[in-house]
Structure 1
Amino acid sequence: MANVRARAMERTETLPVRELKALHEAAEEAAGPGHFRYRCEVAGQALPHKNGALRSELEGAECVWHKHKITRKYEERYRDGSGNRKRRTRTEVVSENSSVTAFFVEDGTGRMVIRPGSENFIGAEKVLDRFEPHTGSGNRLAIGPLSLDLGGGNGTIGYRREEWIVRPGSRAYVHGEASDASGLLAVGAPAEGGVFVLSARSEEELLRSEGHRMLGYGIGTGLAALAGLVLIVLGILH
Structure 2
Amino acid sequence: MAMIVIGVLLLVGAGVGFYLMRNARSELHAMIGAETLPVPQLEMLRKASDDIGARGSFRKQCEVVGAAHPRPEGVLVSELSKTECVWYRYEVKRHYEKVRHQDGHRRKTKHQEVVAKHTSWEGYALRDDHGVLIGVDPNGTAPDRPEQVVSRFEPHRPQGLNLFGIQLPNIFDSSTTIGYEYTEWVLRPGHRLYILGEVHDKIGPLVIGKPERDGHFIISTRTEDELRKHRTQLHRWLSVGVLVAAPVGLVLIVLGAILR
Instruction: Indicate the larger mover: 25-34 or 170-179.
Output: 25-34
Q: 1:3-48 CA distances to partner (integer Å, 9 max, x unpaired)? A: 2211111111111111111111111221332211221110011111
Q: 2:9 maps to which residue?
A: none
Q: 1:46 maps to which residue?
A: 68
Q: Secondary structure at the match of 2:52?
A: helix
Is 1:171 the counterpart of 2:192? The answer is: yes
Matches within 5 A, 1:1-238: 1-78=23-100, 86-109=107-130, 110-136=132-158, 154-224=175-245
Deviation at 1:185, TM superposition (A): 2.0
- In structure 2, the gaps of 5 or more residues are 1-22, 160-173, 253-260
Q: Secondary structure at the match of 2:186?
A: strand
- In structure 1, the gaps of 5 or more residues are 138-152, 232-238
Q: Secondary structure at the match of 2:231?
A: helix
Distance 2:205 2:104 in 1: 63
Deviation at 1:213, TM superposition (A): 1.0
Distance 1:99 1:203 in 2: 24
TM-score (norm 2): 0.75
Change (3 A) 1:225 1:192: closer
Q: 1:89-124 CA distances to partner (integer Å, 9 max, x unpaired)? A: 111111111112221211122111111111011010
Deviation at 1:87, TM superposition (A): 2.7
Question: Percent identical across equivalent pairs?
Answer: 37
Q: Secondary structure at the match of 1:31?
A: coil
Q: Which amino acid aligns with 2:46?
A: H
Change (3 A) 1:50 1:217: same
Q: How many residues align?
A: 216
Deviation at 1:194, TM superposition (A): 3.0
Which one has a bigger Cα radius of gyration?
2
Distance 2:104 2:211 in 1: 52
Distance 2:250 2:89 in 1: 46
TM-score (norm 1): 0.81
Change (3 A) 1:154 1:194: farther
Deviation at 1:230, TM superposition (A): 11
